[in-house]
């Protein structure tokens, strides 16, 4: 069982001096950075960082660093790790949030193929890029590992990308659930787990089980929807196989390591479903009371 405690929910960011309309209408004065397979070309690759399934909490990250560090902390502290989590915020569902629960955005004047970050200078003060140091960690929940990357900016920093799109925070978002950056200048939008522009929730259907997925040997279960293991009394638990394993608590979301059968009742009884991907809301796929057991094998 992972340790249970509360994280602070408010994070202070420096407010940019440039007007929002200016940042929505220009990409900054610096030349864009590009992403390719060669680090020598001025780009970053995922080999420059560690990508780890799960949340910062479930991976026991330093809670005084990364996304949870104050803006006044040294860059080497703030860029130790980044957390990417599929969630909902305001009217946006799904949208990616960081470890502090703040909404992440994409910029239409950037490019995803190849990756290019064009928000520099004053623009990057209002829209701070999500950066990670070389060798740093990117935790992810509800996002496919292959969709996560980095691109080298003009200042040499590595900016996190989702499906090729560089991602940013917005300085006027100060608490979880804020989406004040949505639609600014007609060019800024919350980013979805697959790199698209976030919008209102759409009907959810159970994800199809990949026929070639390897059997799961472990899973992380969360008592909070959207892989929430820090709000209130929510927590996460690591479960390992083989065979049938009961789980404790009202489980609302889950990250399997492969093909896994979930059950509505203890002892692997009741309603069941095979999953192969992260499920941010078990109620949305037919388990309103959560799940009570898992079968590995």
Tell me what the pLDDT averaged over the chain comes to.
Answer: 86
Please report, for the domain that includes residue 241, its CATH number.
2.60.20.10
Q: What pLDDT score was predicted for residue 297?
A: 84
The model's confidence at residue 45, banded by pLDDT at 50, 70 and 90, is low
Rounded distance between C-alpha atoms, residue 170 and residue 217, angstroms:
39
Do the domain assignments include residue 107? yes
My answer on whether 83 and 135 are in the same domain is yes
Task: Please tell me whether residues 155 and 86 are part of one structural domain.
Answer: yes
pLDDT confidence bin for 36, thresholds 50/70/90: very low
**Same-domain status, 41 and 165:** yes
Considering the domain architecture, whether residues 63 and 179 belong to the same structural domain is answered as yes
Secondary structure (H, E, C), the chain: CCCCCCCCCCCCCCCCCCCHHHHHHCCCCCCCEECCCCHHHCCCCHHHCEEEECCCCCCCCCCCCHHHCCCCCCHHHHCCEEEEEEEEECCEEEEEECCCCCECEEECCCEECCEEECCCCHHHHHCCECEECCCCEEEEECCCHHHEEEEECCCCCEEEEECCEECECCCCCCCCCCCCCCCHHHCEEEECCCCCECCCCCCCCCCCCCCCCCECCEEEEECCHHHCCCCCCCCEEEEECCEEEEEEEEECEEEECCEEEEEEECCCEEEEEEECCCECCHHHHCCCCCEEEEEEC
Q: Is residue 210 in a domain?
A: no
Q: Which domain holds residue 255?
A: 218-296
pLDDT computed for residue 203 by the predictor: 73
Q: Is 11 part of any domain?
A: no
**Whole-angstrom Cα distance, residue 185 to residue 201?**
23
User: Range with the lowest mean pLDDT among 37-51, 157-171, 241-255?
Assistant: 37-51
148 with 268, same domain: the answer is: no
Mean pLDDT of 43-49: 70
Dihedral of alpha carbons 37, 39, 42, 46, sign: positive
Last residue of a domain, one of 141, 172, 190: 190
Are residues 224 and 107 located together in one domain of the fold?
no
- Report the pLDDT averaged over residues 269-277: 95
pLDDT at 98: 97
The number of distinct structural domains making up the chain is: 2
Would the pLDDT of 254 be above 90? yes
Environment class of residue 223 by beta-carbon count within 10 Å: exposed (0-12), middle (13-18) or buried (19+)?
Answer: buried
d(Cα 234, Cα 278) in Å, to the nearest integer? 18
184 and 227 in one domain?
no
For residue 105, tell me if it sits in a domain. Answer: yes
Q: For 178-228, write each residue's pLDDT tens digit.
A: 999 999 999 999 999 999 999 998 776 666 666 778 999 999 999 999 999
What pTM did the predictor assign? 0.79
Contact 197, 189 (CB under 8 A): yes
2 falls within a domain: no
Model confidence at 246: pLDDT above 50: yes
Q: Is residue 249 part of a domain?
A: yes
Is the model's pLDDT at 97 over the cut of 50? yes
Whether residue 42 is predicted with pLDDT greater than 80 in this model: the reply is no
Domain boundary at 175, 190, 205, which? 190
Q: Tell me: do 182 and 98 sit in the same domain.
A: yes
What percentage of the chain carries pLDDT values higher than 70?
A: 82
Angle among Cα 213, 55, 174 to the nearest 5 degrees reads 135
- Domain identity same for 157 and 51: yes
Comparing C-alpha atoms, which of 282, 240, 260, 169 is closest to residue 1?
A: 240
Q: Looking at the structure, do residues 97 and 235 belong to the same domain, yes or no?
A: no
User: Do 60 and 186 belong to one domain?
Assistant: yes
pLDDT of amino acid 126: 98
Quick one: pLDDT band at residue 71, thresholds 50, 70, 90?
confident
Taking the C-alpha atoms of residue 118 and residue 32, their distance in angstroms, rounded to an integer, is 5
The predicted-structure confidence for 111-167, as pLDDT tens digits, reads as follows: 999 999 999 999 999 999 999 999 999 999 999 999 999 999 999 999 999 999 999
């Amino acid at each position: 069982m992972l340790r249970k405690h509360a994280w602070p929910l408010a994070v202070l960011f420096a407010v940019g001096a440039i007007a929002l309309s200016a940042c929505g209408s220009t990409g900054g004065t610096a030349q864009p950075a590009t992403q390719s397979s060669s680090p020598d070309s001025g780009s970053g690759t995922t080999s420059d960082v560690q990508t780890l399934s799960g949340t910062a909490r479930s991976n026991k990250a330093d809670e005084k660093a990364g996304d949870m560090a104050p803006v006044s902390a040294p860059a080497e502290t703030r860029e130790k790790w980044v957390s990417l989590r599929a969630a909902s915020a305001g009217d946006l569902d799904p949208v990616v949030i960081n470890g502090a629960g703040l909404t992440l955005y994409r910029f239409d004047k950037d490019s995803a193929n190849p990756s290019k970050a064009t928000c520099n200078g004053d623009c990057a003060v209002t829209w701070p890029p999500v950066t990670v140091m070389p060798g740093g960690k990117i935790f992810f929940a509800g996002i496919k590992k292959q969709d996560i990357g980095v691109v080298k900016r003009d200042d040499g920093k590595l900016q996190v990308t989702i499906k090729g799109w560089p991602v940013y925070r917005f300085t006027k978002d100060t608490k979880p659930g804020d989406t004040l950056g949505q639609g600014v200048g007609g060019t800024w939008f919350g980013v979805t787990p697959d790199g698209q522009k976030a919008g209102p929730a759409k009907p959810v259907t159970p994800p199809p089980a990949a026929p070639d997925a390897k059997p799961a040997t472990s899973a992380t279960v969360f008592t909070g929807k959207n892989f929430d293991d820090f709000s209130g009394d929510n927590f996460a638990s690591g479960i390992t196989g083989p065979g049938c394993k009961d789980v404790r608590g009202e489980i609302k979301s889950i990250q399997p390591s492969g093909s896994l059968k979930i059950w509505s009742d203890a002892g692997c009884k009741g309603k069941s479903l095979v999953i192969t991907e992260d499920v941010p809301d078990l109620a949305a796929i037919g388990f309103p009371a959560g799940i009570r057991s898992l079968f590995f094998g």
